[in-house]
A and B are shown apart, each in its own frame.
Chain A
Amino acid sequence: MNILVCVSRVPDTTTRILVGPDGKTADKTGVKFVLNPFDEFALEEGLRLREKNGGSVTAVTVAGEVAKDILRTSLAMGADKVAIIKTENEFDSYFTAQNLAEFASNRAFDIILLGKQSIDYDSLQIPAYLGELLGIPSIGVVSKLQIEGNNVSAERDIEGGKEIVSAQLPCIISAQKGLNEPRYPKLPDIMKAKSKPIEEVAAIDCQPRTTILEMSIPSKKRAGVILDGSDGSLDKLVTLLHEEAKVI
């Protein structure tokens, strides 16, 4: 099974993000970057498919030189090959999808796995873009995956329930939390990962379709008012809801 996992490098989940002086980009000072947590589920699923069916797992990212660290993490988890589609410019989801599609198009992957979203820009567009650009099925937000031969059965999280859909390989699967428990890297794998090559591919020229105009931090929530349980405060509550919150 020839498996492709698309990974992205995102700020660590607990990092407090500040907006840079240009008002359009995140300030990267002091920010720790990690492998996108949803991509970890995708990678783990890829590794399990390989363990069951044989074949190889390739992890790929569209990013600048700095993102080689998450490729090393992918290798340490067990990816066989990794590649970076290199660009040092700011780019959008369309640019990413075009480049991933270009990379995938002549390599005959049986399945393409990726996180349901990157937790940085949250565009959630790549899985659908990729399906369109490659002309293959794309199943999103998958929390359980079964593959027998070419038949794919995927359980999707939908609002208030589950949906089971089927498709044929090759296809695209975007991973939801709960799909699996990503493995912890083992020391021998970390050591081996260090000496494996990272394939470098130049990004294809492709005009982004969106431009970021402005970025801002949400304003702080207004402080709450705590009232005691007395009758007097009930009147006060009504007054506040009417005059301050203006909801009644």
Chain B
Amino acid sequence: MKIKKNNDEIESYLRDASNLKGSANAVYLPETVAELQKQIKKLYHSDIPFSIYAAGTGLTGSAVAEKGVVISMELLNSFIEFNADKKYLKVQSGVRLEDIQDFLETQNFFYPPNPTEKLSFIGGNIATNASGARTFKYGMSRNFVRYLKLILANGKMLELRRGQNLATDVNLILYADDGSETALVLPSIKMPNCKNASGYYIKPDMDAIDLFIGSEGTLAAVAEIELSVLPMPDNIMAGIIFFNEFNKMLEFIVQSRDFSNERNKIDINLNDKPCARLIEYFDNNSLEFLKTFYSQIPHDAIGAVWFEQEYYYEFENIILVQWYELITKYSDLADGSWFALNETEHRKFREFRHKLPLTINELTSKNIQTKIATDTAVPMENFEKLFYKIHEILSETGINTCVFGHVGNNHLHANFFVINEDERKVALTAYQKIIDLTLELQGTVSAEHGIGKLKKNYLKQMYGDEAIQAMKAIKRALDPKMLINQGNLFD
């Protein structure tokens, strides 16, 4: 096992993409799962707090150590097994998402969850239950985890295969590799009925594996993962549709979300109608940012929607005609909207989407500020209220903002670009208003980025103190000394 102790060497392990700065004495880089287990055991018995570090691409500081030592997963980066017949891929936790997608592509397969950050580690994806644009059709990372090999805070190993360790009502028993048992009584927590990355996944009769997915490293280190993968669809069409009227754009979003939700249940080889696998939104300010790089954005556009659809080749024409009819109904800019039927164009559309957060991050750094961005989602029936209200709250601030996000999942990112302390205060007040609004609408304070160390207050506001104490009790049952990933989710 490699160990790094010099300040210069460990500096880069004390930050993530949120710019939060941490502190640690050393970084351990296990090269095998056995080394990982041995090291964790040693730290536990020496009462030394430790944080698990994946790629450091998180946005909420969950990988940033407060003290103690860091365990970096970067050398646990082997592919273990790919089985095309049974459609799974088994890897170690430090494999990059990009490498997984690239490998699968050579096998004509793909891994549906597709967070925008391709340099993330799959272990980090599991820890935050990552999601992305395709979550609209396929759901979050959780849906594609078949098996986990975990190292608990005390160094015991826990292997969980989906479907094989279920709670009986609220009683969940975990069996470690040394034969010991941990019995948990699951608290009653009402999770929001939407895409969610806030706090533990807890419900009666749940699968034990789901408790660990999205637990932000607070319960165990993820060592190995078996992922469900799917054969690559033969054909994908995509559009970036520009709109000139706000209300009609919202109607289009809601309508295409609803029919796609229905039709996504149908085999794509039988579906001859429009049916999106992702629906992404860009507001007027987002388009203004992008116009610097994309001169072809129509001048009178006030917003845009990007969609992708998987389809059977025979139905290409008939589906295209229907999209066109639908789009002309809601926008005068149908003829100026962009369409793509091949991989080059698809990549350009993805770059168009990816360019936005990149531009925002650059601007934020240029203004010497930390990023202020919401990550809230609400149940489907409340989406229109969220959509209207967020735009209203932002326009009232009088500062530079933009909104974009996964509208298929009723999930929006509001971004604030502040240039001084006064604007910062205004932004944080608006941020709080959006949190309050989201919770009124039975939503979640974090739909995909997680809570980490930066959004703990919002988690508390969402679930209340009692629920937080109950979550903490679960952690304590598995990590009595509270050593692993201290400071995430709760204090």
Contact = CB atoms under 8 A, between A and B. Distances in A.
A218 B274 CA distance: 43
Interface string B263-299: 0000000000000000000000000000000111000
Contacts of B334: 187
B79 interface: no
B324 A185 contact: no
B105 A16 contact: yes
Contacts of B108: 29-30
Given A194-B317, A229-B6, A187 B342 contact: no
A181 interface: yes
B343 A187 contact: no
Contact of A187 (B9, B107, B335): B335
Interface string A218-232: 000000000011100
Contact of B6 (A14, A16, A230): A230
B106 A187 contact: no
A47 to B, nearest CB: 13
A76 B4 CA distance: 56
B343 A184 contact: no
Interface string B319-353: 01101100100000011111111111101100000
A18 B345 contact: no
B155 interface: no
A200 interface: no
Interface stretch (A32-40, A144-152, A160-168): A32-40
A90 interface: no
Contacts of A15: 105
Contact of B339 (A30, A69, A190): A190
A187 B295 contact: no
Q: Which of A13, A32, A69, A194 gathers most chain B CB within 10 Å? A: A32
Contacts of B106: 16, 18, 30
Contacts of B107: 30
B331 to A, nearest CB: 11
Given A16-B102, A228-B9, A183 B296 contact: yes
A191 interface: yes
Contacts of B344: 12-13, 34-35, 37, 40
Nearest to B327: A187
A186 interface: yes
Contacts of A14: 102, 105, 347
B345 A188 contact: no
Contacts of A188: 324, 335
A38 B339 CA distance: 20
Nearest to B339: A187
Contacts of A69: 342
Contacts of A13: 344, 347
B348 A184 contact: yes
A76 B327 CA distance: 19
A230 B339 CA distance: 56
Interface band, chain B: 35 or more
A16 B107 CA distance: 11
Contact of A191 (B296, B321, B348): B321
Interface residues of A, number: 29
Interface string A170-194: 0000000000010111111011001
A194 B324 CA distance: 15
Q: Which of A69, A186, A230 gathers most chain B CB within 10 Å? A: A186
Interface in B174-199: none
Given A184-B296, A187-B334, A35 B342 contact: yes
B335 A228 contact: no
B8 A184 contact: no
A2 interface: no
B239 interface: yes
Contact of A190 (B102, B320, B327): B320
B170 to A, nearest CB: 47
Nearest to A40: B344
Interface in B43-101: none
A71 B205 CA distance: 56
Interface string A1-34: 0000000000011111010000000000110101
Contacts of A153: none
Contacts of B342: 32, 34-35, 69, 73
B394 interface: no
Contacts of B145: none
B240 interface: yes
B324 A187 contact: yes
B239 A187 contact: yes
A185 B295 contact: no
B102 A187 contact: no
B9 A186 contact: no
A20 B418 CA distance: 55
A187 B323 contact: yes
B351 to A, nearest CB: 12
Contacts of A184: 240, 296, 338-340, 345, 348
Given A18-B106, A184-B240, A187-B239, A12 B343 contact: yes
Contacts of B102: 14, 16
Given A181-B295, A184-B348, A187-B335, A34 B343 contact: yes
Given A30-B106, A191-B321, A186 B343 contact: no
Contacts of A194: 317
A191 B321 CA distance: 8
Contacts of B4: 228
30 contacts: A14-B105, A15-B105, A18-B106, A29-B108, A30-B107, A34-B342, A34-B343, A34-B344, A40-B344, A69-B342, A73-B342, A76-B339, A181-B295, A184-B296, A184-B340, A185-B338, A185-B341, A186-B339, A187-B320, A187-B323, A187-B327, A187-B339, A188-B335, A190-B341, A191-B320, A191-B321, A228-B4, A228-B6, A228-B8, A228-B9
Given A187-B327, A194-B317, 13 more contacts: A12-B343, A16-B106, A18-B106, A35-B344, A73-B342, A181-B296, A184-B339, A185-B340, A187-B239, A188-B335, A191-B324, A228-B4, A230-B6
| 8 closest A-B pairs by CB | A184-B338, A30-B108, A34-B344, A12-B343, A32-B343, A187-B339, A187-B324, A16-B106
